[in-house]
Chains A and B, each alone.
Chain A
C-alpha cells in the first residue's frame, strides 16, 4: 500500500508539470488583452507601455519558467512566512496580478478563509443532509419519503444555484428581511452577537450550496444502499436474527459508504474552486470570485495561478480517494 501510494505520488509530479504548461500556454494564447477593460480615453501608446510594464515583452518560455519557479517556490514560501512569522520569504520578484499589481499569493491567502467557511460549510451540511436521506430513501424504496426525496433532489440538482440564490435573496432578505443579501467581508466574530451575525450572513449561501450538494450525494447514497440491500450477506444477517438497526446501519451502511466516500473525496477540490456563481450572487469574496473577476479583465497571472492550484488539488484528492478506497475495502489492494 505504501509503495503504491509513493508510486502514485511520483506519477503525480509529471502530471502536474504538464498541466502547468498547458494552463500557462492556453491562457497565454487566449486572445484577451489586459488593457481592454480600461476606458477608451486612455490612448493606445499608453496601453502599449502598460503592457510592457506588465512583463509581456519577454518570450513565452522565459515567462513560463519564471512563473513556474514563483508558483512552486517563491509564493508558497511567502505564504508560509506570512502564516508562521518565520523569516524565510525569499527575495526577488513575485507573481504580480495585473489588475492589482500586487502579489497573487497574498490575494489567495486573503480569499481562502471565506471560501472554506462558506463553500466548505455548504459541502459539510450537504453531506450531513444527504447521508440520512439516502439511507432512508433506499430502505423505504418507493415510499412517500423516497418520492419526496427524489423530487427534492431532482429540483436541487437541476435548478441552477444562480436561480435558487436569487430566490433566497428575494424571499429572505427583500421580503422577510431576515438575512443580509450581501456578505460583509470585514466582519469579525468577537462575541455572541457578532457570531449570530456571522451565522446570519453565511446562512443563505450555505443553504443554497448545501441543497445542491445534498441532492447529488443523496442520490449516490441511495443507489449504493440499494445495491447492498439485496445482497446475500444481508439476507444471512437477517436470518441470523440480527435486528434491522444492526443490519442496516452496521452491515449495509458500512459497505455502501465505500463508493460514497470516494465521491465525497473527489468532490473536495470543488470546495476550493469555490462556487463561482454562488460567491458572486452573495458577494462572498472567495477564490471563485477572485477567479471569475480575473478572467473578466484578462488578469492571466491570477487565472494561471488559481487554475494551477485547482489542478494540483484535483490530482491530490483523486489520489487520496484511490488510497481511501483501498483502506476501506480490503478486497481492493493495489499491490
Chain B
C-alpha cells in the first residue's frame, strides 16, 4: 500500500516535472545525498562479508552481469540481453549459459572490462581458502570460460534449469582482476585497500571508507550512462540505532534515505506525521514462522539421539495437534502489533514472488479456537483440573524458544495466551541471536539443534527462485549428529511425496509448470501443518520527500537504481 503511494508519488513527480527540467538533469546535477544505515557497513567487498548492508553499499560500485528489477524480473546490467533458450544463450542441454558483455564498458579507473574479469570473479569466490560468502552462487559449476574478450560461458556440471545464479544479483558481482589478482584465498583479507575501495563499473566510486562508520562516494566519471548518476556525491553514514535513523529522515531532515527501519508501528506513524519523509515498504520472501519439531527434544535422551529422527515427537507427531495449534493463533493481531504496515499475515511457506504464492491456504487467517479444542479432544487430550490438557498422565506442555528481540517476545506472550485458551501450556525461552542463529555444533541452544518443541524465526531465499528453499525440507536434509548438526530441514520434516515432487521441480525448465509445482509443494507442506507461517515481513526503508527516482526492490539491492535517484527541486 505504502509502496504504491511512494511509487505513484515518484511517477507523479516525473510527469509533473517540466520537460525542460528533465532535459537539464545530468551527471552530478542533484548535488549531495545523505544515506543512513544504522547498522554500519564493515567492508565494501560483498564476497568477504555476506551481510545485507555490505551488499547494498557495494552494489553502487560493483555490479553483476544481470540483476532482478523491482518486479522480480531479470534485467540485463553489464550485458545487452539476457541469454535464454530462445536466443541461444542457454544451451539446449541446459548445461551452459553464455553471456556477452556490452561493448565499451569501462572500470572506474578507465580500463576496459573484459571476460577475464568475469572468469577471475568466479575463481576468486570459489578459492577453497577464501571463505567467500556467496560461494553457493557458484556451486555446481564445472568451469567458467572466456570465449573471447567480451564473451563468457559458464559450464555446469549437471542439467541446470535455472542458470541465472552466477553473476546475477547484488551478491554475485564482477570484480576487477587487476585489482584483486594478488588477493586470492587466504590472502583476501590482507588486501584492505582493495576491499575498502574496490574498482567497479557502478555509478559511484569510494572516495573515503571508514569501517563501521562512514563511506563517501563520488560519481564515477567512466559510468556507462553519460548523464548519470544525478547525485554528484553520497555520504553513507552508519551507526546509531533504528529510531535515530528514522528520526533523521522524518523529523530533523538531516538524512535523505534510511534503511531497515524495523520499529514499532506507532513510532513510525508518529514520526511520519511530520511530513518530511515517506515510508517505503515492499514484500519479498521473508517470512516469520513457528517451526514444529517432529522429533523428540527430551533432555532424557542421550545427546546424539536427542532431536533426531530416531525418536518421533510424543505430542507434535499428531497432525491434529499441529492443526489445533495453528487454528488458535491470531495472525492478524500479531501482525498489527509487531509489524504494522511492514507485515502481512500469511498461511504460506513461499510468500513471494506473487505468482508463486499459493492462493489455497487463507483459511488459517480466521481464528477458530472451538475447532482447535475439538481437534485436541479427538486426539485424546483431555482438559485437566488446571485447564491444561492431559493424555496418559502427560501434560500438554511445550517449550517455545526464539531469539531475543522485542517483537518476538511480544509474539511469544500472545501465542502463549492463545494456546493456553485451548489447553496448551507453553514455557517461553529466548536466546541471544548471536547464539541462536549460530551454527556451533557444540552449543545446545542453536536453532539448528532445535532442542525445544517449537521455535520461531524468519527465513527467506535469495533471488526469485524458491527451488533451493523448498529443497531444504527434503528427508535427510535435517540437522543431525552425523552432519555436525548442519542442515536446513529445521523441523525434521520427512515426506516421500514431497521429495518426489521436489525432484520433478528440480528438472523442470518450463516456467508455468515450475510455478504450479512450487505452489503444490507449498500446499503439501503447510496443509500438513509442518510449520506454522505467521507473518510475511516487508522491507522497510524511509526516504525524504525531496528525493525522487527511488524504486524499492526486494529482489536485489535497495540501491539497484542508485544512478537514477535525483533531488526534486522545490
Contacts and interface: CB of A to CB of B under 8 A. Distances in A.
A41 B439 contact: no
A42 B136 contact: yes
Main secondary structure of the interface of B (DSSP, over half): loop
A283 B131 contact: no
Contact of B240 (A38, A106, A280): A280
Interface in A17-51: 31-33, 35-51
Contact of A293 (B208, B212, B436, B437): B212
Given A33-B439, A49-B131, A297-B434, A102 B240 contact: no
Contacts of A154: none
B309 interface: no
Contacts of B439: 33, 35-36, 44, 47-48
A136 interface: no
A54 B189 CA distance: 9
A38 B247 CA distance: 26
B406 to A, nearest CB: 15
Which of B51, B131, B132 is most buried by chain A, counting CB atoms within 10 A of its CB?
B131
Given A44-B488, A103-B192, A181-B252, A283 B247 contact: no
A100 B247 contact: no
Interface in B104-139: 128-136
A296 B254 contact: no
B384 interface: no
Contacts of A96: 189
A37 to B, nearest CB: 7
Indicate the size class of the contact surface on chain B: 35 or more
B42 A100 contact: yes
B248 A296 contact: no
Contact of B36 (A101, A182, A289): A182
Which of B186, B235, B251, B255 is most buried by chain A, counting CB atoms within 10 A of its CB?
B251
B477 to A, nearest CB: 11
B214 A180 contact: no
B213 A110 contact: yes
A260 interface: no
A31 B438 CA distance: 9
A48 B434 contact: no
Contacts of A280: 239-241
B52 interface: yes
B240 A101 contact: no
Given A37-B51, A38-B50, A110-B213, A101 B251 contact: no
Interface string B366-379: 00000000000000
Interface in A80-134: 96-97, 99-103, 106-107, 110
Contacts of B440: 31, 33
A181 B247 contact: yes
Nearest to B433: A36
Contacts of A51: 131
B532 to A, nearest CB: 18
B433 to A, nearest CB: 7
Interface in B209-240: 210-214, 216, 235, 237, 239-240
Interface stretch (A69-77, A138-146, A169-177): A169-177
B359 to A, nearest CB: 26
Indicate the size class of the contact surface on chain A: 35 or more
Contacts of A289: 212, 239
Interface stretch (B459-467, B499-507, B510-518): B459-467
A101 B50 contact: no
A53 interface: yes
B244 A182 contact: yes
B55 to A, nearest CB: 9
A54 B212 contact: no
B146 interface: no
A53 B131 contact: yes
Interface in B307-347: none
B348 to A, nearest CB: 18
Interface in B254-313: 254-255
B461 to A, nearest CB: 6
A137 interface: no
B51 A38 contact: yes
Interface in B141-192: 186, 188-189, 192
Nearest to B483: A44
Interface in A182-224: 182, 184-186
Contacts of B40: 293
B133 A174 contact: no
Which of B49, B235, B434 is most buried by chain A, counting CB atoms within 10 A of its CB?
B434
Contacts of A100: 42-43, 211-212
A276 interface: no
B240 A48 contact: no
Contacts of B460: 39-41
B438 A283 contact: no
A53 B131 CA distance: 5
A102 B133 contact: no
A51 B50 CA distance: 13
Contacts of B201: none
B487 interface: yes
B195 interface: yes
A246 interface: no
Contacts of B237: 182, 184-185, 283
B189 A102 contact: yes
B486 interface: yes
Given A33-B439, A53-B129, A102-B189, 13 more contacts: A31-B435, A33-B443, A40-B437, A40-B460, A44-B487, A46-B132, A100-B211, A110-B211, A185-B210, A185-B213, A285-B239, A290-B212, A298-B438
4 A-B pairs with least C-beta separation: A53-B131, A33-B438, A283-B240, A101-B189
Interface of A: 31-33, 35-54, 96-97, 99-103, 106-107, 110, 169, 173-174, 177, 180-182, 184-186, 280-283, 285, 289-290, 293, 296-298
20 contacts: A32-B438, A37-B433, A38-B51, A38-B133, A39-B50, A40-B457, A41-B462, A42-B50, A46-B50, A47-B439, A49-B132, A49-B135, A102-B43, A102-B211, A110-B210, A174-B252, A185-B210, A283-B237, A290-B212, A293-B239
